[in-house]
Amino acid sequence: MTAGPRRPAPTLDAIERHEHELRVEELAERAGTTVRNVRAYQDRGLLPPPRRSGRVAFYSEVHLARLRLIGRLVERGYTLASIGELLQAWEAGHDIGEVLGLEEAINAPWATEAPETVTAAELAARFGVEPADGVPRAVELGLLVPDADGERYRVPSPRLLQVATVLHAAGVPLDAILDAGAALRAETDRIAALFTGLAMDHVVDADRIADAAPDELAAKAEVVRRLRPLAEAATVAALAQSMDRATTERLSQELERHFGRARDGSVAAPSTRP
């Protein structure tokens, strides 16, 4: 009896991929790490197993949230062994999906912008300067992320680049724009720390996570998700009030300087110069 013709192995395109699932290369890129690290974390049990279709592994947003959490812990000096112990203690007695749901709510990126890519020549055309002018500082501030060849840059926030473009077109020098960008980042870091502290201290209650029931973890995750637009709305409202105060104060100062009027409404003495 002769064997029938061998069926060809399924290609990657023929393997079903569910919506929002990622291959390992995509997962590593979105998490800002390497495929080698992903596999190392998986071998150590720090990542839950992926879904497999044939020989291909597919990862979900849950894996992405866990991977970002691991990256943050590594940046803070935790060893992989200590991270494993932390995660094991966290997961003890809980459904893994509920725990990772809370991780995803806490660590999911706030920005909804889709990054763009620009070339050095495009930057020069926008700002009317040599391609290298201002780029190193923009990279330092995280406004630009260079590709390996140094000729193209990923723009994490196209809105910020557009603001810079409009300011420069209005006559603001590039150095002043970058100075403002650095100051803005410092202020927004403080605002982010404020709202993160509110969430971690009063909603998540990190000291009680290990004792929380699965339904309580799900409720905490939902509250954290709702805090995101609340934080943005509060910041925009407070900024609007601050802009009103700042512009009124600055205009008052300029009127006083140019027209010699004191704040109480009295008129300054006329000049005795000829």
Could you read off the pLDDT tens digit of each residue along the chain, which spans 274 residues?
444 444 444 344 444 556 578 899 999 988 888 999 999 999 988 988 898 888 888 998 888 888 888 887 787 677 888 778 767 756 664 544 555 555 555 555 555 567 888 988 888 888 876 656 788 888 888 888 888 776 788 888 888 999 998 998 899 998 999 999 999 999 988 988 888 778 777 776 655 555 555 566 666 666 666 677 777 888 888 888 888 888 888 877 777 777 664 445 554 444 444 4
Where is the domain boundary, 56, 77, 92? 92
10 falls within a domain:
no
Residue whose C-alpha is closest to residue 138's, from 82, 180, 86? 180
Distant-in-sequence, close-in-space partners of 204: CB < 8 Å, separation ≥ 6: 102, 106, 220, 224
Where is the domain boundary, 44, 71, 92? 92
Instruction: State the pLDDT at residue 157.
Output: 87
146 falls within a domain:
no
11 falls within a domain:
no
| Exposure class string for 209-224: b at 16+ Cβ within 10 A, else e | beebeeebbbebbeeb
Where is the domain boundary, 92, 126, 145? 92
98 falls within a domain:
no
88 falls within a domain:
yes
Instruction: State the pLDDT at residue 17.
Output: 52
49 falls within a domain:
yes
DSSP H helices in the chain: 24-31, 35-43, 61-75, 80-91, 96-107, 120-127, 135-140, 158-169, 174-198, 214-259
132 falls within a domain:
no
Q: Residue 185 is part of which domain span?
A: 172-261
Any idea which residue has 């723009």 for tokens? 155
d(CA 46, CA 30): 18
217 falls within a domain:
yes
> What's the structural domain count of the chain?
2
d(CA 14, CA 147): 32
d(CA 119, CA 117): 7
Task: Tell me the CATH number at 41.
Answer: 1.10.1660.10
Instruction: State the pLDDT at residue 263.
Output: 47
d(CA 90, CA 69): 13
Output the pTM of the full model: 0.49
